[in-house]
Amino acid sequence: MVKMRTQQIKAYKLDISKTGMDGAFLCPSCGIKISPDDRSDDNYIIQDTVMKNNEMDEVIIYCKRCLSVIQLSGFSEISKRSQDRLFYFNHI
């Protein structure tokens, strides 16, 4: 008889402003680098994207190494700040 071991899935919420300038960050559970430049799907997959007011607001990422789910949020806030800066610089 084979005993199956179950692993509890961990969930984390991370704000995009806490990532590196290139958007990369370490998985809060296992420490593997998750980077938007990694197109291999070896380390993680994007499970879902959440839209708010026709803009991306969150990305749900699944870490393949430790099976954690990472909710990466704050995209709409970055977009808003960028638009505010453009407005400011266009009115100087």
Per-residue confidence (pLDDT) for residue 87, from 0 to 100: 46
At 21 the pLDDT is: 82
d(CA 86, CA 62): 34
pLDDT in tens, 1-54: 666 666 677 999 999 888 888 889 999 999 999 999 998 989 999 999 999 888
The domain segmentation of the chain, as residue ranges, is 11-90
Contacts of 1 (CB under 8 A, 6+ apart): none
**What SS3 string covers the chain?**
CCCCCCCCCCEEEEEHHHCCCCCCEECCCCCCEECCCCCCCCCEEEEEEEEECCEEEEEEEEECCCCCEEEEECHHHHHHHHHHHHHHHHCC
User: What's the pTM value of the predicted model, to 2 decimals?
Assistant: 0.75
